Amino acid sequence: MGRNCMNTLTFGLLAILLNQSLSGYDLMLKINTFWNIPHSRIYPTLAKLEQENYVSYIMIEQKGKPDKKVYSITEKGIIAVKEWILMPLDSSVKKDEFHLRVYCTHLLDKERAIKLIKEREENILKKIEVRKKRIEEIKTQCDNKIESTSSSYFSRYILISKLISEDEIEVKWCRWVMGLYNNEWGVNFLDMSFLEF
Amino acid sequence: MGRNCMNTLTFGLLAILLNQSLSGYDLMLKINTFWNIPHSRIYPTLAKLEQENYVSYIMIEQKGKPDKKVYSITEKGIIAVKEWILMPLDSSVKKDEFHLRVYCTHLLDKERAIKLIKEREENILKKIEVRKKRIEEIKTQCDNKIESTSSSYFSRYILISKLISEDEIEVKWCRWVMGLYNNEWGVNFLDMSFLEF
DNA sequence: TAAAACATGTAACTAGTTACATGATTAG
DNA sequence: CTAATCATGTAACTAGTTACATGTTTTA
């Protein structure tokens, strides 16, 4: 009850509510940018946050759609986020099953290996398209200039830039690997020229 | 009992055992390259894999150290890995609390924001050092040439190259963001010149 | 002399996934 | 007419974390 119930998910929800008041359903959609959480975790967590006064909600009746609870962050919630953002951050390794498969590519013949890498490349290219549309939306919303580092547009802009840069480097890596499979290498491939970007 | 008990962890353990026979303790250390798993999950999982004949073990008595079980992959285990590596891979978003904090940087003053980014940069630079040592070990082990894409050195080499490239791009991003905080930007910073690497 | 490394295991907990449950509207 | 979207919730499960439990040797 009175014990500390704050975890990454609760801070994630509060972080999103900093910028706008949203329903549990919309929070679920938004938090999927950060990591995949199903609604089955969102709703009980919001109920808990509301009990502990980190958020409050109002019922909104809709026509043609079910009623919804629109949540807003409280003063207590804002203070909690400000404390959390400066807490020591553990740099744990993220689980990525693709990396585990890359570790086993030597088991595959050339065609199957290239298929694995090609599919990855295509998935990432699709992600980049979505993100570039998102960045255009942000630019439009703030009239093509970000007034200061204390604007939430700034945070969103630097984050999406990070995600795109990581995707772009992965596409380069995919192409480098496919090149290696197509014999575009000699004994000198170990000088890692791929990394000189 | 007879039901399918295979998950990402079981395939992770089998993938490592493909290259070398190891104890549960050493498997725990190795799998930490991919994601953090404590020994409390490793030991019961290995017992289950052994029951289902994906691995086998021999007891090794040691002087000055506790006895250990050294696990090896079986034929059944190798077949399972070969099937798994081609199974459809869900491209789910990885949980990264740092990204969530970046999303809130506009709440921080310049000094605190730079501290957050600087600490991230330093952590990644340390990771890069460790990985560059690892890549040198791999190069030494295979006498500075990777004979073919069917060698396990190839898999390990392309994987570590991927991790290093991702770390390097994140360092660049950190420096770009710190530059923005130090007013190295005009209205045109939105042209994303950072991404032209 | 305290901590870390080596080595294996279990217990109790929190986090995350999948399925069950309901029900209207809209798009293909 | 079937699936997707909007909308909220619970139940049952698997995955992952932290703590308990034991014991030796080596390093700081």
pLDDT tens-digit series, residues A99-113: 999 999 999 999 999
0.75 cut: is pTM over it?
A: yes
Best A7, A11, A41, A97 member to test B by mutation, with max B CBs in 10 Å, is A97
CB of A178 lies under 7 Å from some atom of strand C: no
| Span CA (A164) to C1' (C23), Å | 39
Chain A hits for B30, CB-CB cut-off 8 Å, are none
User: Cβ of A106 and B150 within 8 Å?
Assistant: yes
All residues of chain A having their beta carbon less than 8 Å from the beta carbon of residue B13 are none
In the Cβ-directed half-sphere of B72, how many Cα atoms lie within 13 Å?
7
Q: Is the CB of A46 under 7 A from strand D?
A: yes
> In which region does residue A168 sit, left (phi positive, over 0), alpha (psi from -120 to 50) or beta (all else)?
alpha
Give the mean pLDDT of A73-97. 94
In DSSP terms, A56 is beta-bridged to A72
Which residue of A151, A156, A177 is in closest CB contact with B103? A156
Nearest CA in chain B to A144: B190
- CB of A148 within 7 Å of some strand C atom: no
Collapsing DSSP to helix, strand or coil, A65 comes out as coil
Query: Residue type for B138, please?
Result: I
Query: Which of the four pLDDT bands, split at 50, 70 and 90, describes residue A193?
Result: low
For helices B24-31 and B39-51, give the axis angle rounded to 10 degrees: 120
CA distance to B130, B132, B141, B171, per residue, from B135 (Å): 9, 5, 10, 19
Does residue A64 or residue A7 have the better pLDDT?
A7
Q: Do A158 and B187 touch (CB under 8 A)?
A: no
CB atoms under 10 Å from CB of A26, counted, come to 16
In sequence order, the 6+-apart residues with CB closer than 8 A to the CB of B193 are none
- Does A36 contact strand C, using a CB cutoff of 7 Å? yes
Of B98, B56, B103, B97, nearest to B75 by C-alpha is B56
For residue A142, what are the CA distances in angstroms to A147, A164, B112, B182? 9, 20, 24, 21
pLDDT at A174: 95
Q: Residue B89: which of A107, A105, A120, A129 has the closest Cα?
A: A120
pLDDT surpassing 60 at residue B8: yes
Q: Provide φ and ψ at A123, rounded to 5°.
A: -60, -40
Nucleotide nearest to B44 (CA to C1'): C9
> Cβ of A150: how many Cβ atoms within 10 Å?
14
| Residues B157 and A112: beta-carbon distance below 8 Å | no
**CB–CB of B94/A96 below 8 Å?**
yes
